[in-house]
Chain A
Amino acid sequence: MSPVHFIAIPLFAAFLIPLAGKVSKELVKIIPGLVLLYLSFVSVTLFPIGTHHPVVEIIAGFKPPFGITLYYGAIAAFLTTLITLIGFVIWLYSYKFIIREPIEKYYMLFMMLITGSTGIVLTGDIFNLFVFFEITSIAAYSLTAFLRDRDGAEAAFKYLLIGSFASTFFLLAIAIIYANVHTLNLADIAVKIQDVPVTTRLFVLILFLIGLGIESEMFPLNGWAPDAYSQAPSPVGAVFGGIVVKAAVYSLMRIIFLMFNSHDVLHFLLVMGIITMLIAEMSAMKQQQIKRMLAFSSIGQMGLVIIAFGIGTEPSVRAAMFQMFNHALIKSLLFFSAGYLVFHSGSKKISALDGLGHDKPITSFFFAFGALAIIGLPPFSGFWSKLYILLSIADAGLMVPVVLILISSIIEAVYYLRVVSRLYFYKEEATDVRRTPVSGLIAMGILTVVILLVGFYPNLILNWMTPAAADLLNKASYIKFGLF
């Protein structure tokens, strides 16, 4: 087994699925599940290996820095595990949720998205990173418009417009880097970029910040995000929040720590994170639609992650990774339950949710659970990561971000609990007799159990976070292993 599986198998599956569609519709639904189950298995078996010692895979026999390499270190191990496991849960949820034709296209794009995301996480080559980015983006644009409705197309077009900007700047940055160092291998670039004039480096950095900042939902580059999240089918919202953004933030941080690690850059990230978080949370406050609210909340959470990365110490990076993990889980749970709440109430509006807690107790319970967890209340896992972020910020001697994070938490509490109390405490007659399918409930149940488990035993995840943070911060070892 090698890390290549993470990319090759979903890619193969993506092309297999339309063919399988000719044979049987059931097969189309089952293949992605099998693929993700297998990948989860691979990621769990490879996990300890990658965490202890980075595995560098050479593609097609060209040695670095000439060929494309895959770098499977601690952080890549953690992220691929996260992506495959969340991907599996999302598949489980989609199994009964996506009932609209063309199903094979949905799963094909979903597999492409998994390919792209794992590729982003694994690759050790900057142009390859760009390619995987584009694979992810194109799949994401199409998935946004999957429902074929008016708003879906609009959201997808905005996403495409801004996303193309992102790729343009990314490609421009790559061109400039290549012009100066004549290499595409990340580790090699990290070595050689030190000799490049500082202004050129800065210009490249700015291009990267814009290009990757768009995908990691940094303000003011995140105009596409609320639309795309809210118009895509609910499991796709979970994919965006749980997988795509995580990969984007990772690659941004990887590039910054490898190439431009300076205090000013980190401070800039810190400030941008704070702005992103505050504006997103404030915008979420008065949203009429539940999924749009979740989208803004998602942006806010990414702001929090960026803040933690911006502190740039090892505890804070660890806390940021932990927060990414929790957010992937909790936001998926929220999107899942919101998906069925919207389905049952027949409207995207929050005001249509009145009294659903009575009617659909389990789905509503999951939503309430997720809401309490994402606010960061104990005993759920979100509590620990938020606590760690706060402690690491205070450790770095800053108090203002701590206060701002807590203020945004209060705002978060207000809008989430407004929905929760609507769910439970307005009485209305049952109108919808359809039931939430078992596969959806199992998917949400798995997430709930993990959230509680990590809430009571954070070391379960935290122990793996330490090597991951070290991996991200330790440029020397990346260069050493990346170049042999």
Chain B
Amino acid sequence: MIYYATSILLILIGMYAVLVKKNLIKIVIGLSIVDNGIHLLLIAIGYVKDGTAPIFSKPGLQASQMVDPVPQALVLTAIVIGLAVTAVALSLIIRLYDHHKTLNINKIRKLKW
């Protein structure tokens, strides 16, 4: 249960950062926190109490005693995707800083209406 609560908390914290913080880098950090929250949620879904790794490592091990491997695979993929997005975001921020000399999102509004 604690995992679910933490993951939702993480998502909310991330959302807060994205929606309220004005610094571009903080916004990106917020996005990463949201991502992590969801990853934790996914893992928590697959978690079985006292479960082992999903490998038939010793005889007599039942499938119900293992944690669900699928969410873990999903999370691995999602982490990679999150990394890529963060990388693109940071490189865009470098470009933005070059042009605008600021990291304040409120001041980067050349395209509007």
Contact A178 B93 (CB under 8 A): no
Contact status of A168 and B108, CB under 8 A, knowing A154-B96, A157-B93: no
Compute how far the CA of A150 lies from the CA of B34 in the bound complex, rounded to whole angstroms: 28
Contact status of A134 and B74, CB under 8 A, knowing A157-B93, A171-B38, A175-B41: no
Contact B108 A154 (CB under 8 A): yes
Confirm or deny: B54 has a beta carbon within 8 angstroms of a beta carbon on chain A: no
A309 to chain B, nearest CB (A): 28
Residues of chain A having any CB pair with chain B under 8 Å? 127, 131, 134, 137-138, 141-142, 145, 148-151, 153-158, 160-161, 164-165, 167-168, 171-172, 174-175, 178-179, 182, 184, 226-227, 230-231, 283
Residues on the B chain within 8 Å of A178, using CB: 42, 45, 70-71, 74
Compute how far the CA of A482 lies from the CA of B89 in the bound complex, rounded to whole angstroms: 37
19 residue pairs A–B, Cβ–Cβ below 8 Å: A127-B74, A127-B77, A134-B85, A138-B81, A145-B95, A150-B110, A154-B108, A157-B89, A157-B93, A158-B111, A160-B89, A164-B34, A168-B11, A168-B35, A171-B38, A175-B42, A178-B70, A179-B45, A231-B111
Residues on the B chain within 8 Å of A182, using CB: 68
Residues on the B chain within 8 Å of A138, using CB: 81, 84-85, 88
Contact B92 A134 (CB under 8 A): no
Contact B78 A171 (CB under 8 A): yes
Contact status of A160 and B18, CB under 8 A, knowing A127-B77, A153-B95: no
Residues on the B chain within 8 Å of A141, using CB: 85, 88, 92
Closest-by-CB residue of B relative to A184 is B70
Residues on the A chain within 8 Å of B109, using CB: 154
Compute how far the CA of A271 lies from the CA of B35 in the bound complex, rounded to whole angstroms: 31
Q: Digit string of B34-52 for contact with A (CB within 8 Å is 1, else 0)?
A: 1100100110010000000
Closest-by-CB residue of B relative to A159 is B92
Interface residues of B in 63-87 (CB under 8 A from A): 68, 70-71, 74, 77-78, 81, 84-85
Which of B81, B96, B108, B111 has most A Cβ within 10 Å? Answer: B111
Which of A137, A151, A178, A231 has most B Cβ within 10 Å? Answer: A178
Compute how far the CA of A160 lies from the CA of B108 in the bound complex, rounded to whole angstroms: 15
Compute how far the CA of A227 lies from the CA of B42 in the bound complex, rounded to whole angstroms: 33
The 3 nearest A-B residue pairs measured at CB: A150-B99, A153-B95, A179-B45
Closest-by-CB residue of B relative to A288 is B113
B69 to chain A, nearest CB (A): 12
Closest-by-CB residue of B relative to A158 is B111
Residues on the B chain within 8 Å of A172, using CB: 11, 38, 41
Contact B111 A151 (CB under 8 A): yes
Q: Digit string of B20-39 for contact with A (CB within 8 Å is 1, else 0)?
A: 00001001000100110010
Contact A164 B95 (CB under 8 A): no
Compute how far the CA of A182 lies from the CA of B48 in the bound complex, rounded to whole angstroms: 14
Residues on the B chain within 8 Å of A231, using CB: 111
Compute how far the CA of A171 lies from the CA of B36 in the bound complex, rounded to whole angstroms: 11
Contact A153 B110 (CB under 8 A): no
Contact B81 A131 (CB under 8 A): yes
B34 to chain A, nearest CB (A): 5
